[in-house]
Amino acid sequence: MESLIKMIFAGVMFGAWPLLMNRSGLSGNLSSFVMTLTVVVMTTPFVLYQGLPNTGVMWGMAITASLVAGFGILALNDVLSKVAPHEIGALLVVMTLLQAATPAIYAVYMNGRVDSIKAIGLAMAVVAAVLLSLPQSQSN
């Protein structure tokens, strides 16, 4: 239950921070820097309290994951700095759908087969991303 509560909290925080950053007025690169610096300052006490692990860490994988996340943050913050607040919601939904589809595709790859439910889910995610990226209709 604790894990579920933390994931709900994380989901709300990850959904909210781009909306706030979009309103900051910072450029994409500067907002990425401010965010990264703030995260480092915020997490340092927890790292110091817990300490570094002695064995079993795959630092290459951790650094690769961090590079991938860094490129994603740079791209996301660049978009956040350039789009109007009324546009960001649909773009974040598209990003979130792709964020959810990526591990699903990885799971299919690792299992070596595609079951019909996952195929339907991935197809629906693609349809949702396309529909949500269409310009908003002007109905009265």
pLDDT in tens, 29-59: 999 999 999 999 999 999 999 988 878 899 9
Percent over 90 (pLDDT), the chain: 55
Q: Grade residue 140 by pLDDT with cuts at 50, 70 and 90.
A: low
Residues 17 and 49 in one domain: yes
Q: Which of 60, 82, 104 is the last residue of a domain?
A: 82
Whether 111 has a pLDDT exceeding 80, the answer reads yes
78 has a pLDDT exceeding 90: yes
Last residue within a domain, chosen from 82, 107, 131: 82
Pairwise pLDDT comparison (129 vs 88), residue with the higher score: 88
Is the domain of 20 the same as that of 69? yes
Scanning the structure block, which residue is given the tokens 């197809």? 123
Q: Are residues 22 and 39 in the same domain?
A: yes
76 and 126 co-located in one domain: no
Q: What pLDDT, on the 0 to 100 scale, is given for residue 139?
A: 57
Measured distance CA(8)–CA(12) in Å, rounded: 6
Q: Tell whether 13 and 78 lie within a shared domain.
A: yes
User: How many domains does one find in the chain?
Assistant: 2
To the nearest whole percent, how much of the chain has pLDDT over 70?
Answer: 97
Output the CA torsion 33→39→45→51 (10° steps): -90
Q: 119 and 139: one domain?
A: yes
Domain containing residue 98? 84-140
Q: For residues 70 and 93, state if they share a domain.
A: no
Does the model's pTM come out above 0.85? no
Yes or no: say if 32 and 73 are a contact pair by the CB < 8 Å rule. Answer: yes
Asked if 103 contacts 61 with a C-beta cutoff of 8 angstroms, the reply is no
Contacts of 42 (CB under 8 A, 6+ apart): none
